[in-house]
Amino acid sequence: MQKITVLCVGKLKEKFYIDAQAEYVKRLSRYCKLELIELPEQRLPEDPSPAQIAQALETEASTIREKLPKGGALVALAIEGKPCSSEELSRRLSDYAVAGKTQVTFLIGGSFGLDASLKKSADWQLSMSPMTFPHHMARVMLLEQIYRAFQIELGTKYHK
> Mean pLDDT throughout 28-50?
94
In a domain, 109, yes or no: yes
Model's pTM, two decimal places?
A: 0.94
- The answer to whether residue 31 scores a pLDDT higher than 90 is yes
In a domain, 160, yes or no: no
* 19 domain residue, yes or no: yes
98-140 pLDDT, tens digit per residue, is 888 889 999 999 989 999 999 999 999 999 988 888 889 999 9
Q: Where are the beta strands (DSSP E) in the chain?
A: 3-9, 33-39, 73-82, 103-108, 124-126
- Residue 28: which residues within 8 A CB-CB, separation 6 or more? 4, 34, 143, 146, 147, 150
Question: Can you give the residue range of the structural domain that contains 119?
Answer: 3-42+51-154
pLDDT tens digits for 66-77? 999 988 899 999
92, 105, 50, 83: CA torsion to nearest 10: 20
Query: CA–CA separation, 135 vs 65, rounded Å?
Result: 19
Q: How far apart are CA 109 and CA 57, in angstroms?
A: 9
Report the greatest alpha carbon distance in the chain. Answer: 49
Residue 110 DSSP code: B
Residue 159 lies in a domain: no
106, β-bridge pairs: 6, 75
Domain membership flag for residue 111: yes
Tell me how crowded residue 81 is: count the other CB atoms within 10 A of its CB.
Answer: 16
The number of folded domains in the chain is: 1
What is the domain-level CATH number for residue 117?
Answer: 3.40.1280.10
